[in-house]
Amino acid sequence: MFQVNFSEQAIQQLDRLDKFVQMGLVEQISSLTDEQLQQPSESLGRFHRNGKTLYRLRAGEYRLYFERRGAALFCHYVLHRNTLSDFVYRFKLPVSEEQMLEENDSFWRYLETLKR
């Protein structure tokens, strides 16, 4: 098991979630083993960005982006699956976080209209 530390974004996102969902996400990331990080699977991906090895853990409706720092994992982002933020982060599009936030409200309203 790894010790897990969270960025401000990850903490803010976790705070918005139900306590049981929070506990499930923390359990999934903290129970990862060194072997799993060495041999990623369908639910755990590995990629390189800016000279760092990052991982993407698919955990139910959420995606956790993290890196290994010695005996600990540092979770940079907790993003809901199939969101613009998740898509942009995965595909490294040249969009700043500010631009994503500015567009976020209209994007979410659009998605809500698709549900109806």
Same-domain status, 9 and 65: yes
Model pTM above 0.85:
no
> Cα 103 to chain center, whole Å?
19
The pLDDT of residue 11 is 93
Total domain count for the chain? 2
Same-domain status, 51 and 26: yes
Same-domain status, 106 and 77: no
**Inside any domain, residue 59:** yes
User: Which residue do the tokens 């309203």 mark?
Assistant: 109
Same-domain status, 49 and 105: no
Could you write out the DSSP letters of every residue in 29-44? Answer: HHT--HHHHHS--SSE
Q: What residues make up the domain containing 69?
A: 3-81
Same-domain status, 16 and 72: yes
The pLDDT of residue 110 is 58
**Which of 20-44 are b and which e, b meaning 16 or more Cβ less than 10 Å from the residue's Cβ?**
eeeeebbebbeebeeeebeeeeeeb
Query: Per-residue confidence of the chain (116 residues) as pLDDT tens digits?
Result: 789 999 998 999 899 999 999 999 999 999 999 999 999 888 898 888 778 888 989 998 898 989 999 989 999 988 887 765 655 555 554 445 445 544 556 655 655 665 55
